[in-house]
A and B are shown apart, each in its own frame.
Chain A
């Protein structure tokens, strides 16, 4: 507006502002972020937003079983997405299922990120045989497809939300460890680390105070994509019957429940949870895809 406010408007733009501006420049990615934020919000607010508590058996009416979408219930309010064979409102079941799916996806990603970050920093900063040991473990694990490792673990551990999270963490940590180690190896040769060493700062302070913050950007991209992967993998495992227990149905389990009904033409029991899952995963992938483009220095012309 005026020259007095700031002599150069570029100089006051913080890196975070720049990131936000670049991100918002892509309408598709911005749309993805808004859609995901909305989905996450209704998932968190499920007890308030859902017309029915799908776990409360008293509120279910078996007479309302397998109704088509839009059929009105006893109070005259329509079941927007139909009901399953027990008379459970699918919209409510989906909202509650989303909580579990997103909770497991985000929770396992945060845990795996922390473990991978610690392992990657440790490997890169220590070097030598410790580095070799960690990276061999990473190589070994990345040599096998995630679904196989998760199936093995769940075959051993049994079903359960906590066990699914353990399996997903075990599958994911290696990606973070490899990414972190890569950027940490570059960063630790830079002057500021050397300066910190010359000041005789403690090991933990150098690693966590100086090295870690500078290794985070590429990790954010990996983490975004991994949330989508984790949600999809959890859904797959639950569909196969080795994931979450019947009492805590995630989207994948809802889809599996509807499989038999689909054959008799009752598509809605698994179609709508599937669409919800798809929209969630696509919106996260759109955000991650664009983040990768703007955070990748090689693509900046």
Chain B
């Protein structure tokens, strides 16, 4: 219980620290007035806009407004869309989530078998090639791979569409792409693109885990007992090497969401990452702030859950943390 409380306080501290930093960064530095008001506007129009956005108030008052807004889940209204910033982001959140979940699934389904093979035969050509592919996967810049995928599969072959989400259907009131044929076609390239980096990571983790587990006595014993190799690998080996893979993937989920910024920009995927980039370019501060705070919240929640699961699985962590 002390451990849980400790983690909870840490999480809240991180949120508070980020809120402070974000405010200082976004509100104290940079001036959106020049960006938002057309050069032809007269002084009265400029003053009206400043007053409407509350930019003329003292910094302290802006900060208090900001804090009370954060506590109410209100980050202000977008300068560009004239809609609450939080709603803009939450509208686009399902698209990003769908993309991120698909990417993680691909990383698991492709990465784990390849990693296990590479771990079982590390010195054979197949094992070496898998590792070479994984180094390539780490080195290839995501945005460039995305462009090459578009060039090959959309421009040259014309098999798959390159932009947008395609047809969506409502699932529990949330629009999703993966249930329609058109949506699935649209989802495929961006999901592969986003999965690339994490697949390389999973291959490495699975390979390292496999090499470690293969030398253990219980694997030798299972083999000596005469169990079929498929059972040794699928049950005894897989179960034990999955622990670090699952932990790291859990912690990395937030980074997949963050990296979706790049994939969404390349494939014009209507998610919240693309919204962030256009907001940065247009200096739409409320949206930037809302995106950052929601992402920080997501991170803290994910890390908290992973920590709890970890403590649940491993009593040593519980004692150390308390």
A267 to B30 alpha-carbon distance, docked (Å)? 38
Interface 9-residue window, one of A36-44, A78-86, A147-155, A177-185: A147-155
Residue contact B135 to A240, C-beta cutoff 8 Å: no
Given that A147-B259, A262-B150, A285-B135 are contacting pairs, would A235 and B30 also be in contact in the complex, using a CB cutoff of 8 Å? no
Chain B contact residues: helix, strand, loop or mixed: helix
Given that A274-B148, A285-B135 are contacting pairs, would A235 and B277 also be in contact in the complex, using a CB cutoff of 8 Å? no
Residue contact B303 to A228, C-beta cutoff 8 Å: no
Residues of A contacting B143 in the complex (Cβ-Cβ under 8 angstroms): 235-236, 239-240, 252, 255
Complex partner residue of B144 from A144, A156, A274, A286, CB under 8 angstroms: A274
Q: Taking CB as reference atom, which chain A residue is nearest B292?
A: A152
Docked complex: A137-160 residues within 8 A CB-CB of B: 140, 143-145, 147-148, 151-158
A267 to B156 alpha-carbon distance, docked (Å)? 10
| B interface residues, tally (CB under 8 Å) | 40
Q: Taking CB as reference atom, which chain B residue is nearest A275?
A: B144
Residues of B contacting A156 in the complex (Cβ-Cβ under 8 angstroms): 25-26, 29-30
Complex partner residue of B141 from A143, A155, A277, A289, CB under 8 angstroms: A277
Given that A158-B30, A240-B261, A240-B265 are contacting pairs, would A232 and B281 also be in contact in the complex, using a CB cutoff of 8 Å? no
Chain A contact residues: helix, strand, loop or mixed: helix
Q: Say if the beta carbon of A165 comes within 8 Å of chain B.
A: no
Residues of B contacting A289 in the complex (Cβ-Cβ under 8 angstroms): 135
Over the window 137-165 of chain B, the binary record of Cβ atoms lying under 8 Å from chain A Cβ atoms (1 yes, 0 no) is 01111111001101100010000001000
Q: Say if the beta carbon of B276 comes within 8 Å of chain A.
A: yes
Docked complex: A242-294 residues within 8 A CB-CB of B: 242, 252, 255, 259, 262-263, 265, 267, 270-271, 274, 277-278, 281-282, 285-286, 289
Q: Say if the beta carbon of A241 comes within 8 Å of chain B.
A: yes
Chain A contact-residue range equals: 35 or more
Residues of A contacting B266 in the complex (Cβ-Cβ under 8 angstroms): 259
Residue contact B155 to A242, C-beta cutoff 8 Å: no
A273 to B95 alpha-carbon distance, docked (Å)? 31
A144 to B162 alpha-carbon distance, docked (Å)? 30
Residues of A that sit less than 8 Å from B by CB: 140, 143-145, 147-148, 151-158, 228, 232, 235-236, 239-242, 252, 255, 259, 262-263, 265, 267, 270-271, 274, 277-278, 281-282, 285-286, 289
